[in-house]
Structure 1
Amino acid sequence: MTNDVVKLRQVLHRNPELSGSEVETARRIVRFFKPLKPTEMIEGLGGHGLAVVFSGQEVGPTVLLRCELDALPIQEITPFSDRSWVEGVGHQCGHDGHMAIVAAVGVALARQRPKRGRVVLLFQPAEETGKGAAEVVKDDRFSMIAPDYAFALHNLPGYPLGQVLICDGAFSAASRGMAITLTGKTAHAAQPETGRSPARALCKIIQQFSSLPQDIDAAHEMAFVTVVGANLGEKAFGTAPGRAEVWATLRSETDDMMACLIAQAEAVVADSAKADGLEYRIDYDDIFGATVNASAAANIVRRCAGEVIQEIEQPFRWSEDFGRITATCKGAMFGLGAGEDTPDLHDPHYRFPDELIAIGADLFLRIIRQCLLEPSASW
């Protein structure tokens, strides 16, 4: 690992950009890679995404490594000199570290290019909103870099530094935000019977959501609904409200279970609204499919990680949009321990440990060698 990579992470950390606005972040990555003279750089991929390609002289597989460009709407609280300069925005998920890891891989590839096949380093936009990977795959130019294998990692506080967490099948959950609007009729608080208040329906929806899913054999599979907010009327004691909103997150282990959860949640809303003569509307946002690991790709990670590997029995509850990419090829996502005493992801005090850059880059390079069958490469 070079000092340049650490400096890059610090610059990225000081200058975070939210999902869909990663213009300067992408430009900084381009400037970093230009002196390394990759085979090709594809800019503006799926938004502000960037694909950096290193090709070998012989035909072979294409291996894609993905990291994320975007930051979070979180105010950082740390004493470090490289803390965020942007008010209310920070890299409290460690995407600055993920980019640094992949940049370190690029430095190694520039020193010794693959003999066969291709390595694509994908700096993906808008992961936090669940839109970025879908836009990248939908971009016509994605066919130019269509991978045979795809890998991604996520740093995981609470686990020993450098420990690798993997599984076959679902690695992280499917989730989506559900926004419900209930519309009735406003009335005087002294004559509530002349209106149609959504108060009772709102309470019923919140109560019933806590018991979903129902009548589904989900004993072996994670699935639940979390109400994250609600709004009913105003602080106006003379008025009975005619409008209410409920916001909930649906989360499941698989996409099939998500479809069942959606159907049941929508039925609860429809029945509750109908019972009180209300109109309703349902909108969805922050849609993530389950990230599913192919056994063949997960086995490559296992072989390359060696003794530091740990199998997980259930997928992580948080969501990732990398599943959009693994749906196109053999792929796997794995966790990389960021230290047992490190603050949690999305915590205002969280800071990516620079020691993890070399560990992650070395593992990615071993994965590349395994996929391209280059055991003698000395990165």
Structure 2
Amino acid sequence: MPVVNRIAEFSTDMAQWRQHLHQHPELGQDCHETAEFVAARLAEFGVDEIHRGIAKTGIVAIIYGQGEGPTIGLRADMDALPIVEATGLAYASATPGRMHACGHDGHTAMLLGAAKYLAETRNFAGRVALIFQPAEETGGGAELMVQEGVMERFDIARVFAMHNTPNAEEGSVMTAPGPVMAAVDAFHVHIRGQGGHGAAPHMTRDPIMAAVAIAQAIQTIVSRNSYALDDLVISVTQIHAGTTDNVIPDTAYINGTVRTFDPVVQQMVRDRLAQIVEGQGASFGVAAELVYEVGYPATVNDAKATEFAASIAREVVGDARVNANVTRKMGAEDFAYMLNARPGAYLFLGQGPSAGLHHPEYNFNDDVAPVGASLFARLVERAQPMAAR
């Protein structure tokens, strides 16, 4: 697999960095140890500036190239998930209930690899801003970093990121212009009835039956209210009610997720959810309240930046391993906020046979880290070539 020779030389270091991070996962914005590790490596590499404490534990490091030019941003996410690891690896999580089950440890190692190479060679004009972001899984760390002004403060002109893809060909690269990942919202339904004895249901206003009816009706939004060719996913993911077999409870709770690309479809879902919750609640004589939370927007790649990134991917991994028109995914990604602020592209890096993302047996494939680091490095060198002398 063609990678930058110098990056291939320290692939073992990258694996060690990644496995250390895997063993010490942190959640949300509280990536304190991770940030310390990243900052220490960056200092060793001799980057020019290290700015810490952005979005609480985020880091932006600056490397100066040779001569005047713009600043290109490269982003990696650092946070883990609240999952009990089941890999049995020697470097498995040392913190029970936390796990790098999405490969953010690998993403961070890849950006560190690119940083080491770029700090050594500086074969580019202008500057590169290395963005190490907390709280991708929850908390919208990318939005926080944008709100804290990273794009303006560091004069970032365009920005790129990548994510590993289990069960895609090892070392392959996938992307597409336009929307590549969905907007994600959450809904909560709080139902209050009147509980009582399970043997006398006629003396109650049963919130469980209302919850069942609401959950079933929600499923008709996709099948009966949405045009079949409009991408839409609505999943009820939690129903909680009751404590024992002979008591009808006072309350019930429903939670779920909505995935869309089109704001018109998104608004239709909000309207129908409100109508269903109100109507079904009234029909069962219970009070039913909908709380709708708008989450990450759709991740939309800039067409020119995507074409450029795909051309660099072909240079690194070969034409046959690049799909520049991949089918968009219903997953969500807070890198969307950075792409809303600056043109850029989000790429997917195949990691070969693997447990799926967010699975307790998932593990990042260290063999693809040099590919990702090479792609990051070449993006900088080709986007901002040095002037001829």
Asked if these proteins are the same fold (TM beyond 0.5), I'd say: yes
Determine if the alignment matches structure 1 residue 349 to structure 2 residue 361: yes
Determine if the alignment matches structure 1 residue 107 to structure 2 residue 116: yes
For 2:386 and 2:229, the matched residues in 1 are separated by: 40
For 2:222 and 2:341, the matched residues in 1 are separated by: 30
For 1:281 and 1:126, the matched residues in 2 are separated by: 29
Which amino acid in the other structure matches residue 24 of structure 1? E
Aligned pairs for 1:206-285 within 5 A: 206-213=215-222, 218-237=227-246, 239-284=247-292
Find 1:185's aligned residue among 180, 183, 194.
Answer: 194
Find 2:30's aligned residue among 6, 18, 21.
Answer: 21
* TM-score, normalisation: structure 2: 0.89
**Secondary structure at 2:26's aligned position in 1?**
coil
What corresponds to 2:3 in structure 1? Answer: none
* TM-score, normalisation: structure 1: 0.92
* 1:88 Cα offset (Å): 1.8
For 1:358 and 1:255, the matched residues in 2 are separated by: 38
Which amino acid in the other structure matches residue 267 of structure 1? Q
Q: Percent identity?
A: 29
**Conservation of the 8 A alpha-carbon contact between 1:66 and 1:122:** yes
Determine if the alignment matches structure 1 residue 321 to structure 2 residue 334: yes
Which amino acid in the other structure matches residue 287 of structure 2? E
Determine if the alignment matches structure 1 residue 9 to structure 2 residue 21: no
* 1:210 Cα offset (Å): 1.4
What corresponds to 2:96 in structure 1? Answer: 87
**Secondary structure at 1:60's aligned position in 2?**
coil
Query: Residue by residue, what CA displacement relative to the aligned partner does 1:11-48 show, whole Å, maximum 9, x if unpaired?
Result: 11111111122111011101111122222111111121
What corresponds to 1:372 in structure 2? Answer: 384
* 1:206 Cα offset (Å): 0.9
**Conservation of the 8 A alpha-carbon contact between 2:198 and 2:245:** no
**Conservation of the 8 A alpha-carbon contact between 2:310 and 2:322:** yes
Which runs of 5 or more residues in structure 2 are unaligned? 1-6
What corresponds to 2:346 in structure 1? Answer: 333
* 1:256 Cα offset (Å): 4.1
Which amino acid in the other structure matches residue 139 of structure 1? E
Alpha-carbon distance change, 274 to 295 in structure 1, aligned in 2, over 3 angstroms: same
Alpha-carbon distance change, 72 to 284 in structure 1, aligned in 2, over 3 angstroms: farther
For 1:195 and 1:78, the matched residues in 2 are separated by: 48
What corresponds to 1:358 in structure 2? Answer: 370
* 1:51 Cα offset (Å): 0.7
* 1:216 Cα offset (Å): 5.2
**Conservation of the 8 A alpha-carbon contact between 1:102 and 1:121:** yes
For 2:22 and 2:293, the matched residues in 1 are separated by: 27
* 1:178 Cα offset (Å): 1.6
For 2:203 and 2:177, the matched residues in 1 are separated by: 58
Deviates more, 1:19-28 or 1:180-189: 180-189
Aligned pairs for 1:59-138 within 5 A: 59-113=68-122, 115-138=124-147
What corresponds to 1:47 in structure 2? Answer: 56
**Conservation of the 8 A alpha-carbon contact between 2:124 and 2:381:** no
**Conservation of the 8 A alpha-carbon contact between 1:172 and 1:292:** yes
**Conservation of the 8 A alpha-carbon contact between 1:131 and 1:286:** no
Question: Aligned pair count?
Answer: 374
For 1:223 and 1:210, the matched residues in 2 are separated by: 11
Query: Residue by residue, what CA displacement relative to the aligned partner does 1:156-191 show, whole Å, maximum 9, x if unpaired?
Result: 111111111111111111222222111122234455
**Secondary structure at 1:288's aligned position in 2?**
coil
Deviates more, 1:81-90 or 1:322-331: 81-90
For 2:95 and 2:180, the matched residues in 1 are separated by: 32
Alpha-carbon distance change, 57 to 366 in structure 1, aligned in 2, over 3 angstroms: closer
What corresponds to 1:200 in structure 2? Answer: 209
* 1:275 Cα offset (Å): 2.6
What corresponds to 1:139 in structure 2? Answer: 148
Query: Residue by residue, what CA displacement relative to the aligned partner does 1:241-294 show, whole Å, maximum 9, x if unpaired?
Result: 321111111112344432322222222112212333332333356822211111
**Conservation of the 8 A alpha-carbon contact between 2:72 and 2:127:** yes
Which amino acid in the other structure matches residue 136 of structure 1? M
For 1:89 and 1:118, the matched residues in 2 are separated by: 35
For 2:274 and 2:155, the matched residues in 1 are separated by: 37
**Conservation of the 8 A alpha-carbon contact between 1:170 and 1:254:** no
Between Structure 1 and Structure 2, the one with more helix by share is 2
For 1:312 and 1:59, the matched residues in 2 are separated by: 34
